A and B are shown apart, each in its own frame.
Chain A
Amino acid sequence: QEKVQQSPESLIVPEGAMSSLNCTFSNSASQSIWWYQQHPGKGPEALISIFSNGNKKEGRLTVYLNRASLHVSLHIRDSQPSDSAVYLCAVSMRGNMGYKLTFGTGTSLLVDP
């Protein structure tokens, strides 16, 4: 059973600052790691994914994956009040009928204007 832990639980940053979110997972055989954004009362939306060790950049988002330390991080440059939401890390693992996504507990981000 894959375990996904996220830290911090909550984060407050001023507008324009960098937001850094962390995620650790338990199985090095996991496939892609996804970051999702969820606003209150809504379904999550995928932001970015990574499969290979190293980093991947998309717009203001950068994700770093280190499989040896089972760690992935998400960095949001120039954070905006509209970025305020819960961020979910999700790890994809192959199951009996395809891939299963296991989600972390989330980091609640508040960007202070």
Chain B
Amino acid sequence: AQTIHQWPVAEIKAVGSPLSLGCTIKGKSSPNLYWYWQATGGTLQQLFYSITVGQVESVVQLNLSASRPKDDQFILSTEKLLLSHSGFYLCAWSLHSSYEQYFGPGTRLTVL
């Protein structure tokens, strides 16, 4: 069975500090991977997606970057957090980009 794990579960960070969020998928090789962001009460927005190691496409510019260092790992990061980065970050995977996406449990980020 496939499992998707996100870390950390929650973070409270200061404006201007760096951030790194992680996502790991086990039990599925070469998945398509996605990062989403959801402001409190807001719409789920796709930020990045990757179809293979080393290739990441940016969908929305939010002063964030993403990398896929391994087949089963997707990292979201920034060097300087803004207040507007607060929200719920979700990682997802799919077998093919047109197929159902499976979401992880999410990371709640609060920037103060």
| Chain A residues in the interface with B (C-beta under 8 A) | 31-32, 34, 41-46, 49, 88, 92, 95-106
Contacts and interface: CB of A to CB of B under 8 A. Distances in A.
5 contacts: A43-B92, A43-B104, A95-B57, A95-B59, A96-B57
Given A98-B32, A98-B97, A105-B43, A43 B49 contact: no
A104 B43 CA distance: 6
Nearest to B45: A103
Contact of B97 (A43, A44, A99): A99
A98 B108 CA distance: 28
Interface centre among A43, A46, A96, A103 (most CB of B within 10 A): A43
Contact of A43 (B32, B96, B100, B106): B106
Interface in B18-49: 32, 34, 42-46, 49
B98 A42 contact: no
B57 A101 contact: no
B49 A103 contact: no
B92 to A, nearest CB: 7
A46 B99 CA distance: 11
Given A103-B45, A105-B43, 17 more contacts: A34-B100, A41-B108, A42-B105, A43-B103, A43-B104, A43-B105, A46-B100, A46-B101, A97-B51, A97-B55, A98-B51, A99-B98, A100-B49, A100-B59, A101-B46, A103-B44, A104-B43
A105 B44 CA distance: 8
Contacts of A103: 43-45
